[in-house]
């Protein structure tokens, strides 16, 4: 009976039954599709105009990096202004910028500036969305919603580049940017018509005080003050080690004597595992166990990568990377859910924005460090060492998480699972 109740309360159908969530999900799915298409379009456009691999790579990097600025500096706007409004404004701003970028003959420096502003606007959009989800989905439906979000993003990564290449092959890169603009407009319409109006999380007396509080760094202080939240944040940062196989996909494939097709398989292994793990965790793990499993899953997500050190055959290597993703995705989404519930609503967007951008940052740093180590020792040793360091770092955090649950069960555990 317990398993049936769990499946009913936490299943994807329960989340999709909420109209506001459907609107938010569809809006993000469109934005993800548009972003992937724009990355391909811009890469092709810059290459066609310059034939420079360096400028093409720089342009591609600019589709990611400014989001860190937006998520860190501007996430607080979603605490001081209605989050629905922040999402709509960000979408409309990005649509307008994409249209300007689609004008043929736009100088490359201008294109780069427009791209930086466009991607920066993605930071507060995602912070507002993550902060709004707990208001839209209650209880374990929220965890299901996060799982759906994870699956959507991972699926977009798997299909986006191939689909984007196909679209750009049929139309010009400029029309690809126009399509990107349209996805932002439709996303804004979905949010404006499908999500109800709510006031700001914190009401300030003037615009000046709103902006000042938005940039006050309260989210960072909240992360540091709460011991349990700090531990969850640290566990999420283990992704900086687990991403090593993705950053070393080409050297790993070469070391296994496989072709370029194997590079795609290695890159796809983690997203596929993440989708499977998220589905199993959401549908079959009872709510009372999910929080207790966070630490175990965190360690389990890096242990399989230890065995990459021994240069296993390609199928085994893919299985190990996929298993890592299957363990990682559930603990990440549960950690996000716990953090969102534990922090005050007035700083939730700042905490969510800081967490998501920090995650991207440590992954970028992790790839660079893994690449440097691989240059000295080889890719298989680099992945194994990264996993070993992650296991060593995770041990104390897992113990700290167990203590946090024991000393503050009312904060972390659902009703009915706080004893025993």
Domain boundaries, the chain: 8-215, 216-409
Task: Please give the DSSP secondary-structure letter assigned to residue 139.
Answer: T
Q: What is the pTM of this model?
A: 0.77
DSSP code of residue 240: H
More confident of the two residues 129 and 66: 129
Alpha carbon of 133 to those of 10, 101, 309, 342, 343: distances in Å? 15, 31, 40, 14, 14
Q: Mean pLDDT throughout 346-358? A: 82
Report the pLDDT value the prediction gives residue 93, as an integer from 0 to 100: 95
Average pLDDT (319-348) is 90
pLDDT tier for residue 66 given thresholds of 50, 70 and 90: low
Within this chain, domains 8-215 and 216-409 share the same CATH topology? yes
Q: Which of 119, 114, 116, 93 is nearest to 102 (CA)?
A: 114
What backbone torsions phi and psi does residue 2 show, to the nearest 5 degrees?
-60, -40
Confidence band of 235 (pLDDT split at 50, 70, 90):
very high
CA–CA distances in Å: residue 416 to residues 33, 283, 289, 413:
41, 19, 11, 8
Asked whether the predicted pLDDT for residue 215 surpasses 50, the reply is no
pLDDT digits (tens, 9 = 90+) for 104-119: 888 888 888 888 888 8
Tell whether domain 8-215 is in CATH 1.20.1250.20.
Answer: yes
Distance CA 88, CA 128 (A): 10
Question: Using CA of residue 334, residue 339, residue 341, residue 346, what is the dihedral sign?
Answer: negative
Q: How far apart are CA 214 and CA 277, in angstroms?
A: 36
pLDDT above 90 covers a percentage of the chain that reads 34
Question: Which CATH code fits 216-409?
Answer: 1.20.1250.20
User: What's residue 2's pLDDT?
Assistant: 39
Tens of pLDDT, residue by residue over 171-201, are: 778 888 898 899 999 999 999 999 999 988 7
CA dihedral angle for residue 24, residue 25, residue 31, residue 33, rounded to 10 degrees: -170
Going by C-alpha positions, the residue among 306, 295, 138, 302 that lies closest to residue 232 is 295
Report pLDDT for 301: 96
Question: Which run of H or of E encompasses 162?
Answer: helix 140-170
> Number of helices (H) and strands (E), helices first, in the chain?
24, 0
With contact defined as beta carbons under 8 Å apart, do 270 and 244 qualify? no
Cα distances from 400 to residues 233, 238, 394, 397, in angstroms, run 12, 15, 10, 5
């Amino acid at each position: 009976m317990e398993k049936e109740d769990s499946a009913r309360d936490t299943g994807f159908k329960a989340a999709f039954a909420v109209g506001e969530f459907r609107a938010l999900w569809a809006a993000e799915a469109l934005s993800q599709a548009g972003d992937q298409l724009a990355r391909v379009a811009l890469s092709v456009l810059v290459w066609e105009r310059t034939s420079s691999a360096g400028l093409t790579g720089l342009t591609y990097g600019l589709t990611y990096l400014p989001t860190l600025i937006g998520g860190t500096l501007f996430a607080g706007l979603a605490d001081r202004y209605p989050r629905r409004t922040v999402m709509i404004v960000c979408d409309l701003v990005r649509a307008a910028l994409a249209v300007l970028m689609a004008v043929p003959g736009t100088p490359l420096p201008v294109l780069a500036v427009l791209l930086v502003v466009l991607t920066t606007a993605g930071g507060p959009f995602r912070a507002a969305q993550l902060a709004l989800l707990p208001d839209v989905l209650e209880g374990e439906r929220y965890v299901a919603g996060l799982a759906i979000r994870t699956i959507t993003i991972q699926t977009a990564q798997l299909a986006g580049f191939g689909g984007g290449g196909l679209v750009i092959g049929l139309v010009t890169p400029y029309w690809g940017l126009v399509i990107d603009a349209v996805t932002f407009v439709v996303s804004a319409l979905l949010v404006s018509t499908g999500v109800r109006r709510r006031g700001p999380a914190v009401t300030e007396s003037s615009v000046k005080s709103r902006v000042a509080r938005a940039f006050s760094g309260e989210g960072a202080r909240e992360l540091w003050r709460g011991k349990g939240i700090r531990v969850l944040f640290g566990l999420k940062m283990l992704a900086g080690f687990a991403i090593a196989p993705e950053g070393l996909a080409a050297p790993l494939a070469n070391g296994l004597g496989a072709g370029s097709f194997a590079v795609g398989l290695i890159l796809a292994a983690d997203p596929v595992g993440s989708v499977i793990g998220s589905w199993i965790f959401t549908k079959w793990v009872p709510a009372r166990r999910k929080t207790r499993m966070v630490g175990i899953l965190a360690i389990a997500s890096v242990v399989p990568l230890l065995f990459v050190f021994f240069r296993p055959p390609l199928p085994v290597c893919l299985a190990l990377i996929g298993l890592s993703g299957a363990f990682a995705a559930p603990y990440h989404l549960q950690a996000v859910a716990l953090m969102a519930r534990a922090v005050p609503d007035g700083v939730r967007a700042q905490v969510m924005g800081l967490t998501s951008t920090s995650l991207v940052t440590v992954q970028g740093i992790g790839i660079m460090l893994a690449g440097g180590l691989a240059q000295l020792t080889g890719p298989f040793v680099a992945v194994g060492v990264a996993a070993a360091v992650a296991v060593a770092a995770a041990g104390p955090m897992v113990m700290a998480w167990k203590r946090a649950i024991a000393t503050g069960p009312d904060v972390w555990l659902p009703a009915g699972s706080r004893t025993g």
